[in-house]
Amino acid sequence: MAAKNRTWEDKVRKVVPYVAGEQPKDANIIKLNTNENPYPPSEKVREAMEQLAEEADLLRLYPDMDATALVDALAQYLHVDSSRIFVGVGSDDVLALSFMTFFCGGGTLLFPDITYSFYKVWASLYRIPYRTVPLTQDMRIDPAAFKAGPEDGELAGIILPNPNAPTGVEAPQADIEAILQANPACVVIVDEAYVDFGAESALPLLEKYDNLLIVQTFSKSRSMAGLRIGYAVGNEKLIGFLKDVKFSFNSYTLGRPSILMGTASVKDEVYFRETTEKIAKTREWFSGELDRLGFVHPQSRANFVFAKHPAHTGEELLQKLRANGILVRHFAQPGISDYLRITIGRPEQMKEVVRVLEEIL
């Protein structure tokens, strides 16, 4: 019996895509839903833009496929060899390529059950079996739980953000090391998108564990979400495998503007430190105000706070804040549906959030 004829649509790979935070058109909205930096990039980035305008004729040429200037600047900043750095179009690009490179060899991928929702999307896209690991009652990662269970067979790998998103909770370096020690046969990726706001990086562990890959981004702490720059740091062999996959897709991922302005940003460490410290200071003030208003929230080491109020649902607070011109992020997920993730903006913006919350409550 002949098989039923299939249409082209039956042969398409279908996935449930990641849903990004809303990007409103109204400039008067206080936008605290996508963890963007409220401060502008370094003045050196502006100078690099002016240099780019003067060299506009060079845009007819392909950029440096190795992004050498940016890689070398990052290597100097991180005190590692340039061969240990991989750059891509935002950390999402770096992570997606890492999933394809390191997690497609069979076995089960592990990541927290409350975490960056893109992990499930990539696992689905690349047909990687995965299992989510529950957080503890206080929203912490339990390092002992990140090991192969009877249902897993071998592990394809492990990925976790530190600080976690959307909770903002930091896992101490000892917990990261415990996971690495227990899983030497797979790659462990630590996604450090928010590490610059007061958390401890796992970078020192690179000298002890050759299966560790650390991913960071320019989108948050360097105020450059619009340029899409991300990078990974690992041993030379891991980075070599990543480059092989990248060059099998597209050799010229970062454009000349991103390379030039990204390099300028890395070279202005003073401004970088000033900006991240201002955000951390505002976060601590805002956290104290949430405490005063009766909110419950874990201690955040990111540029956002994850909070709920015992007398109001998350959806209710989301809509009332929105009605007052304030956008925050809400996740309709079991266990966290009453929480709101509130990005830390400028002090005057956070004071307005507190004022509106006082009226709502």
Instruction: Provide the pairing of β-strand 85-88 with 230-233.
Output: antiparallel
**pLDDT tens, position by position, 183-200:** 999 999 999 999 999 999
CATH 3.40.640.10 positions along the chain are 43-267
pLDDT tier, 243 (very low <50, low <70, confident <90, very high otherwise): very high
Percent of the chain with pLDDT over 90: 89
Q: Is the pLDDT of residue 2 over 70?
A: no
CATH 3.90.1150.10 positions along the chain are 24-41+270-360
Cβ atoms 200, 170 nearer than 8 A: yes
pLDDT tier, 340 (very low <50, low <70, confident <90, very high otherwise): very high
Task: Give the pLDDT score at 164.
Answer: 98
**pLDDT tens, position by position, 30-46:** 999 999 999 999 999 99
Range name among 2-6, 227-231, 324-328 with the lowest pLDDT average = 2-6
What's the CATH fold of domain 43-267? Answer: Aspartate Aminotransferase; domain 2 (3.40.640)
Q: Is the pLDDT of residue 4 over 80?
A: no
Task: Give the pLDDT score at 126.
Answer: 95
Cβ atoms 170, 301 nearer than 8 A: yes
Q: Which two tokens stand for residue 247?
A: 């060059």
**Rounded mean pLDDT, 253-277:** 97
Question: What's at 38, amino acid-wise?
Answer: P
Report the alpha-carbon distance of residue 347 to residue 285 in Å, rounded: 9
**pLDDT tens, position by position, 106-137:** 999 999 999 999 999 999 999 999 999 999 99
Report the alpha-carbon distance of residue 139 to residue 160 in Å, rounded: 13
Distance of CA 334 to the CA centre of its chain: 22
**Rounded mean pLDDT, 339-347:** 98
Q: Is the pLDDT of residue 168 over 60?
A: yes
Q: Which two tokens stand for residue 301?
A: 């080491």
pLDDT tier, 3 (very low <50, low <70, confident <90, very high otherwise): low
> What's the burial of 354, exposed, middle or buried (CB within 10 Å: 0-12/13-18/19+)?
middle
pTM, two decimals, is 0.94
Task: Give the pLDDT score at 150.
Answer: 82
Average pLDDT, the chain: 95
Name the helix (H) or strand (E) containing 340: strand 340-343
Task: Give the pLDDT score at 24.
Answer: 84
Q: Count, in order, helices (H) and strands (E) of the chain.
A: 10, 12
Which residues does 156 contact at the CB level (< 8 Å), separation at least 6? 102, 103, 104, 105, 106, 107, 108, 109, 128, 129, 130, 186
Range name among 13-27, 58-72, 124-138, 302-316 with the lowest pLDDT average = 13-27
Task: Give the pLDDT score at 234.
Answer: 98
Percent of the chain with pLDDT over 70: 99
Return phi, psi of residue 214, to 5°. Answer: -110, 130
Looking at domain 24-41+270-360, its CATH architecture is: Alpha-Beta Complex (3.90)
Residues in the chain, total: 361
**What DSSP string runs through 194-258?**
TGGGTPPPSGGGGGT-TTEEEEEESSSTTS-TTT--EEEE--HHHHHHHHHHHHHH-S--S-HHH
pLDDT tier, 252 (very low <50, low <70, confident <90, very high otherwise): confident
Task: Give the pLDDT score at 151.
Answer: 84
Q: Is the pLDDT of residue 139 over 80?
A: yes
Q: SS3 for 20?
A: coil
